[in-house]
Amino acid sequence: MKPFSPIIVEYLDFCRVHRGLCARTLEHYGIQLQALEAFLEVREAPSLYGISLDDLDAFLDERGKVLARISLAGVVSVIRGFLRYLFLVGIEPEDRSGWIEGPPLFAQMKLPRHLEDHQVEAAFARLNLSKRSGIRDRAALTLLHHYGWRAGEVVGLQMNEIDFDGSRLQVQRLKGGKRQVFPLVEPVRLALQAYLKIRPASSHSCVFLNVSFPYRPFTSASLCGRVRKYLEGVSGIRGAHSLRHTLARRLRQSGTPIPVISCMLGHRNPDSTATYIRIATDELAEVADNYANLL
């Protein structure tokens, strides 16, 4: 990825200082603005200054072809914040952030995307355990599957956070920043031990590394790409986050209380957990059919 242009860097610094945004969010903001900048260059528009309404509409139309509604709303939010910044610092004579509106969103408009047990098994079966990458990916997938961690939390796992003797491990939560202790369940123990035996020697403290030299830390983007590879053809759902939804669903079906599920997923607000455990449409239809037969 090429470096951000000076105006984008200035805006990101403003967001970091005045809004307290984390590095991951700032990077996301920069990528979206860089995409807008590249789009404007193709149209021979005056870069990020003096953007016309036609150019903004054309860009959002183009992004809307490949993004889900909620993702497109996020892009609109980034651009509106940037346009407001240009006005606040005197670069633009008027506040044009009100020119654009995001697509309408509705509370809990999207059903959670989970995997069935046989789909999870099929994904694990596609691991090539004769390769170091397969052994590493099995350990990462096992963490995703058994603990419902986010991809960034898995790749952020440090060597000193694994306690085999005490049968526990720790995770640094991406949202909230708190540390949380988990019991080291047997499938995770075995997968981690198998990986650590073939893990390249490195000065990096993170557990997961690339398998080829130089042995850099494994990134969340790389992990998500690997998960998509294993889920491709197994299910129409291919995101690493689907394993998080799958765990929440499995726990709820086994009768686990919602506060416990919230703790497991690292949610501070139980309302956040509700989106992970909503009943799918097919199950509602089955209940309705059964009820109709009783009438």
pLDDT in tens, 82-141: 999 999 999 988 888 888 887 765 555 455 567 888 999 999 999 999 999 999 999 999
Give the number of residues written for the chain. 295
Tokens standing for residue 216: 């850099």
pLDDT in tens, 41-50: 888 876 788 8
- Of 178, 185, 114, 177, the C-alpha closest to 147 is 185
**Pairing between β-strand 162-163 and β-strand 179-183 as defined by DSSP bridges:** unpaired
Tokens standing for residue 10: 């200035």
The radius of gyration of the chain from alpha carbons, rounded to an integer in Å, stands at: 22
Domains delineated in the chain: 6-99 (1.10.150.130), 119-236 (1.10.443.10)
Counting Cβ atoms within 10 Å, is residue 176 exposed (0-12), middle (13-18) or buried (19+)?
exposed
Average pLDDT, rounded, for the chain: 85
| Amino acid, res. 155 | V
pLDDT in tens, 195-236: 999 999 999 999 999 999 889 999 988 998 999 899 987 877
Dist CA 55 CA 231 (whole Å): 37
pLDDT in tens, 11-40: 999 999 998 888 888 999 999 999 999 999
- Of 190, 214, 194, the C-alpha closest to 204 is 214
